């Protein structure tokens, strides 16, 4: 059976409920969407590359810092060890400086005695707090102070300087007390050389 064109048109219903077109501004939304996709991809790629570079830079700096910290600690350990060595050397030097042999001093005193003089008693004691200082107590059998002058001269020849000397003469015995301090003759020369 053949249907006429007029009859077909009759099947189509009227589309009365079609939505009204969007305002002109809202028609920009899809455009903005496409642009934002493009911009987001570009910017995100740039940021991601910068992110990776920054991560690499941060890790490099951290590694370098750790290496420097190890070197610094090594230098600190070396300095601590050196300071300990210096302390030890200073302590030993102090001990050696205050342990100068007494035998040459005793010999100088005994050999300074003249034919009419003799040593009754000689005592040399290092001070407990300052062992480089020697307390000397000398009792001589003599009747003149010339012998003492000679003895003091011999002591001075060994570069000992007498501090707070006291002497008592009576009944053919002379008592002499002094604190002896050794002085390095080269130290004066060095000081003069520095001047």
Interacting residue ranges for another protein, rule: CB under 8 A: 19-22, 26, 29-30, 32-33, 36-37, 39-40, 43-44, 47-48, 50-51, 54-55, 57-58, 61-62, 64-65, 68-69, 71-72, 75-76, 78-79, 82-83, 85-96, 98-99, 101-104, 106-107, 110, 118-126, 129, 131
Report in angstroms how near the CB of residue 74 gets to another protein at its nearest: 9
What residue ranges in the chain does DSSP mark as E strands? 118-126, 133-141, 160-170, 173-182
Comparing CB distances to another protein, the nearer of 43 and 165 is: 43
Residues with Cβ within 8 Å of 99's Cβ and at least 6 positions away in sequence, in order, are 131
Comparing CB distances to another protein, the nearer of 40 and 168 is: 40
Query: Contact, 149 vs 110, CB < 8 A?
Result: no
Report in angstroms how near the CB of residue 51 gets to another protein at its nearest: 4
Report in angstroms how near the CB of residue 159 gets to another protein at its nearest: 17
**Three-class DSSP category at 15:** coil
Query: Contact, 148 vs 173, CB < 8 A?
Result: no
Comparing CB distances to another protein, the nearer of 21 and 170 is: 21
The two three-digit tokens of residue 57, written as one number: 């830079």
Distance CA(174)–CA(168), nearest Å, equals 6
Comparing CB distances to another protein, the nearer of 64 and 153 is: 64
Report in angstroms how near the CB of residue 116 gets to another protein at its nearest: 16
Comparing CB distances to another protein, the nearer of 5 and 82 is: 82
Query: Contact, 139 vs 173, CB < 8 A?
Result: yes
């Amino acid at each position: 059976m053949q249907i006429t064109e007029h009859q077909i048109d009759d099947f189509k219903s009227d589309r009365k409920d079609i939505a009204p077109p969007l305002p002109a501004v809202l028609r920009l939304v899809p455009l903005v969407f496409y642009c934002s996709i493009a911009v987001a991809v570009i910017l995100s790629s740039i940021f991601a590359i910068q992110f990776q570079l920054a991560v690499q830079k941060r890790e490099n700096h951290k590694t370098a810092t750790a290496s420097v910290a190890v070197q610094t600690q090594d230098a600190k350990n070396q300095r601590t060890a050196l300071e300990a060595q210096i302390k030890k050397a200073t302590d030993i030097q102090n001990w050696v400086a205050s342990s100068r042999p007494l035998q040459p001093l005793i010999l100088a005193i005994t050999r300074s005695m003249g034919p009419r003089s003799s040593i009754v008693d000689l005592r040399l004691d290092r001070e407990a707090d300052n062992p480089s200082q020697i307390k000397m107590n000398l009792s001589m059998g003599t009747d003149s102070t010339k012998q003492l002058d000679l003895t003091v001269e011999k002591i001075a020849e060994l570069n000992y300087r007498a501090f707070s000397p006291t002497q008592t003469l009576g009944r053919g015995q002379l008592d002499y007390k002094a604190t002896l301090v050794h002085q390095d003759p080269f130290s004066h020369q060095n000081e003069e050389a520095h001047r």
